[in-house]
């Protein structure tokens, strides 16, 4: 599965609704990891079928800070881990 991916940058308040939507009965799995020498949060976001109400439903997402802003890169689907890792590394190495 190729899927799609998104990139977002903004304040934690503005982007937090994507990872913790109001009224969602399920929460994402969040892990702190080091990727390409950078401390990041890895989110495994539940699917819409599980009740997760966000455009990131069913995504794997990496989030890190740049100054006062946060950056999020997400990929739809929990399959094709090699392609996800390559895209995450390519995106985070320049920032």
Measured CA to CA, the distance from residue 62 to residue 92 in angstroms comes to 9
In a domain, 61, yes or no: yes
| Phi then psi dihedrals of residue 40, to 5 deg | -135, 165
Give the Å distances, CA to CA, from 81 to 15, 78, 86: 24, 7, 9
Runs of H (alpha helix) within 1-95: 12-19, 81-93
Overall domain count for the chain: 1
Q: Which of 89, 37, 94, 85 is nearest to 60 (CA)?
A: 85
Q: What is the pTM of this model?
A: 0.77
Q: Is residue 40 situated within a structural domain?
A: yes
Decide if 53 is inside a domain: yes
Evaluate whether residue 31 is within a structural domain.
yes
In a domain, 51, yes or no: yes
By residue range, what is the domain housing residue 53? 25-93
**Is residue 13 one of the residues assigned to a domain?**
no
**pLDDT tens digits, residue range 31-76?**
998 888 889 998 888 888 888 888 888 888 889 999 999 999 888 8
């Amino acid at each position: 599965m190729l899927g799609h991916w998104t990139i977002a940058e903004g304040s934690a308040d503005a982007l937090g609704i994507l990872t913790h939507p109001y009224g969602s009965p399920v929460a994402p799995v969040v892990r702190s990891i080091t990727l390409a020498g950078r401390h990041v949060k890895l989110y495994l976001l539940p699917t819409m079928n599980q009740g997760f109400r966000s455009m990131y439903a069913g995504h794997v997402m990496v989030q890190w800070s740049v100054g006062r802003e946060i950056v999020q890169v997400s990929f739809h689907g929990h399959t094709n881990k090699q392609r996800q890792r390559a895209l995450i590394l390519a995106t985070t190495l320049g920032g």
